[in-house]
Each structure stands twice: as structure tokens, then as C-alpha cells.
């Protein structure tokens, strides 16, 4: 058994409007909003890296949970925008949290990484105790590589999110998860070393709109629940139009899908946890009410996780 105990997030101070990013790539601000739902995003400073942002989000999560970092049994860090090939940011995050022996594992899965991390943590918590899952991304460093692609540069922002998974206490109990991967589409969304992000947007949207509703429906069915019973859907914030398509495919009101993409853009593996943190501060888990997490990302990797609020 595992519980979602607390969330945390960190967002850089610099706000980049559609007017600013659009001016760099020759796009109208309203066009950007129309195709993505994004109005602004955050960009980290030159001195901020993914480990620093991830540690800040993790520290806030631990503060909300009321436990010290020394109570952690493991850290899982997802990032698709780490500054170097190795070591990944996980060990640096642990050091910044004041730890020197707790295992810290990197999950280099863009967009879907935090979902995969929470799913793994829900199994590991019974063995290692508290697991801190972090998604942290500095996508601005990638999208600003030349030549800038207007279809890519307008979408992404920077930030970090965190979730504490505990074996015995929390606001929601994890009921189960379902994860999938298909390498047949690996070339359709990728970042080669020191190269700009390459994306076949048509394929990504097509596959996401097919795969996410299927995996959500499958997971609810496995647990004897109707999709309509979910109190909220906390998804990877990729594109507002994609969220609307998924809501329509599931025959669920779009208002049930928490969205903050207008303010932060697509922060890749950090986005679902940033959304979960904001939602938990504004609303939070309700006893007996299911909450669905879902994500889709490069690889392709995708899946969903179901939790229910504790009475």
C-alpha cells in the first residue's frame, strides 16, 4: 500500500509572454494562445539548473509533509533537459537536500517521467519507506538553440514539481497504475545532443489523443470504477487543445481537468506535479473521491495512475 502524502513546486521568477517569445520566432501572440492555450511561461536564469530547481520543489514538498529529508528512503528524479550526459541531476538534488547516502535515481523520461516515478515509488515505498519523486526541467535552454523552431519554441517553459509517496500515511491512497512504451515513435519527439528539439506535432497529437483516453478507461475499468467518478484529472500540461480532445474522448467535462498551462506552458516532466501541487493547495483530496493522473511523452511513454482520497 502507498499514499500520496504531499506535493511541492518551484517556478523561476522570469515571466516570458507570448509577445516576447513570438517576437523571436515571428508568431502573433494570439496565434500562440489559439494553437496551445498558452499565454506565458517561466524561464530560469542562466545561473539556475535542473538540480537546483528540483531541490527547491523537493524541499517545499518535504516542508508540507512535515518531515526532514533524512526520513527519505529514496529519491527519483525525472528530467529530459539535464545539462550533462552524466551524472544526472538526482545525486545533485540529494546533495542540495543535505543527503549523502540515500539512493537517488535518475529517470530521463521527458513529459511522462514524473508519472512513471510515482508509479514506481508506489511499489518501492513498502520496502524503502518515503520516496520523493521530482520532475525538473529547463526546457528554455533547449528551445532557444538555433535555429529556433516556432512550432516548438512557443510551447515550453521551466520549472520543477515534487510528490512524496509514503507507505502508511497521506491524503490519497494509490489504487493502481498502468504504464506503456512504444519505441516505434522514438524519432517523432527527440532531442539529440546539443541539437534543437525535433517534434512531429501531428504524430504526437494523434497518438496522445488515442493512447491517453484508452489507458485511463482501462485503468478505471480494472478497478471497477466509471471514468465519470473522477473528481479531477491531473495531466501532463502539454497543450490545452490536447486536454480538450482527451476530455471529449472520455465524455468528461473539461472543467474536471485541472489546467495551468496558460501560465506556465509545457514544463515537460515537471508539469503534472506542478499542476498537482497547485490543485492540492486550492482544492485537495476528498475522502472516497478518485483522482486520475495521466501523462504522455517522448519515447513514446504514456500511462495513468489512480488514487482515492482518504476519509
Kindly state whether residues 261 and 291 are assigned to the same domain. yes
Given 132, 166, 200, the domain boundary residue is 166
Q: What is the pLDDT of residues 94-149, one digit of tens each?
A: 999 999 999 999 999 999 999 999 999 999 999 999 999 999 999 999 999 999 98
Structural domain of 125 = 3-166
Domains in the chain: how many in total? 2
Q: What is the pLDDT of residues 206-237, one digit of tens each?
A: 999 999 999 999 999 999 999 999 999 999 99
Given 114, 140, 166, the domain boundary residue is 166
Does the pLDDT at position 311 exceed 90? no
Kindly state whether residues 226 and 142 are assigned to the same domain. no
Kindly state whether residues 9 and 76 are assigned to the same domain. yes
Q: What is the pLDDT of residues 232-289, one digit of tens each?
A: 999 999 999 999 999 999 999 999 999 999 999 999 999 999 999 999 999 999 999 9
Of 162, 182, 298, 299, the C-alpha closest to 238 is 298
Question: pTM of the entire structure?
Answer: 0.97
Does the pLDDT at position 14 exceed 90? yes
Does the pLDDT at position 88 exceed 90? yes
pLDDT of residue 255: 97
Burial of 255 (0-12, 13-18, 19+ CB in 10 A): exposed
Kindly state whether residues 226 and 156 are assigned to the same domain. no
Kindly state whether residues 206 and 240 are assigned to the same domain. yes
Kindly state whether residues 230 and 160 are assigned to the same domain. no
Angle at CA 197, nearest 5°, toward 191 and 199?
105
CB 165 within 8 A of CB 4: yes
Q: How far apart are CA 273 and CA 114, in angstroms?
A: 7
Kindly state whether residues 187 and 303 are assigned to the same domain. yes
Kindly state whether residues 107 and 196 are assigned to the same domain. no
Q: What is the pLDDT of residues 31-81, one digit of tens each?
A: 999 999 999 999 999 999 999 999 999 999 999 999 999 999 999 999 999
> Which grid cell is 28?
502573433
Kindly state whether residues 113 and 71 are assigned to the same domain. yes
pLDDT of residue 93: 98
Q: Percentage of the chain with pLDDT > 90?
A: 97
Given 166, 200, 233, the domain boundary residue is 166
Instruction: Give residue for cell 520532475.
Output: 135
Arithmetic mean of pLDDT, 15-29? 95
Kindly state whether residues 157 and 43 are assigned to the same domain. yes
Q: What is the DSSP string of 14-39?
A: EEEEHHHHHHHHT--HHHHHHHH---
Q: What is the pLDDT of residues 140-184, one digit of tens each?
A: 999 999 999 888 999 999 999 999 999 999 999 999 999 999 999
Kindly state whether residues 86 and 129 are assigned to the same domain. yes
CATH number at 77 reads 3.40.47.10
Kindly state whether residues 53 and 19 are assigned to the same domain. yes
Alpha carbon distances (Å) from 8 to 55, 231, 247, 248, 301: 10, 21, 26, 30, 24
Amino acid at each position: 500500500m502507498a499514499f500520496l502524502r504531499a506535493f511541492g513546486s518551484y517556478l523561476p521568477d522570469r515571466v516570458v509572454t507570448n509577445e516576447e517569445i513570438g517576437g523571436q520566432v515571428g508568431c502573433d501572440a494570439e496565434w500562440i494562445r489559439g494553437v496551445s492555450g498558452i499565454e506565458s511561461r517561466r524561464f530560469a536564469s542562466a545561473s539556475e539548473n535542473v538540480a537546483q530547481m528540483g531541490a527547491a520543489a523537493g524541499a517545499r514538498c518535504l516542508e508540507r509533509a512535515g518531515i526532514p529529508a533524512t526520513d527519505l528512503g529514496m529519491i527519483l528524479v525525472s528530467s529530459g533537459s539535464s545539462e550533462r550526459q552524466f551524472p544526472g541531476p538526482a545525486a545533485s538534488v540529494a546533495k542540495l537536500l543535505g543527503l549523502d547516502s540515500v539512493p537517488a535515481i535518475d529517470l530521463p523520461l521527458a513529459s511522462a517521467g514524473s508519472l512513471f516515478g510515482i508509479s514506481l515509488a508506489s511499489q518501492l515505498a513498502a520496502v524503502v519507506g518515503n520516496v520523493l519523486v521530482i520532475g525538473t526541467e529547463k526546457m528554455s535552454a533547449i528551445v532557444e538553440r538555433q535555429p529556433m523552431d516556432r512550432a516548438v519554441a512557443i510551447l515550453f517553459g521551466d520549472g520543477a514539481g515534487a510528490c512524496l509517496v509514503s507507505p502508511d500515511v497521506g491524503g490519497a491512497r494509490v489504487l493502481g497504475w498502468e504504464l506503456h512504451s512504444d519505441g516505434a515513435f522514438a524519432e517523432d519527439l527527440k532531442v539529440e545532443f546539443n541539437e534543437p528539439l525535433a517534434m512531429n506535432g501531428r504524430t504526437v497529437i494523434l497518438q496522445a489523443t488515442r493512447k491517453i483516453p484508452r489507458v485511463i478507461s482501462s485503468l478505471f475499468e480494472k478497478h471497477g470504477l466509471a471514468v465519470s467518478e473522477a473528481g479531477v484529472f491531473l495531466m501532463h500540461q502539454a497543450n490545452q487543445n490536447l486536454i480538450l480532445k482527451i476530455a471529449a474522448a472520455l465524455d468528461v467535462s473539461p472543467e474536471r481537468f485541472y489546467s495551468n498551462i496558460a501560465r506556465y506552458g509545457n514544463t515537460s516532466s515537471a508539469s503534472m506535479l506542478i499542476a498537482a501541487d497547485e490543485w492540492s493547495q486550492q482544492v485537495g483530496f476528498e475522502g472516497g473521491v478518485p483522482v486520475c493522473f495521466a501523462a504522455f511523452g517522448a519515447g513514446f511513454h504514456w500511462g495513468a495512475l489512480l488514487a482515492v482520497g482518504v476519509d
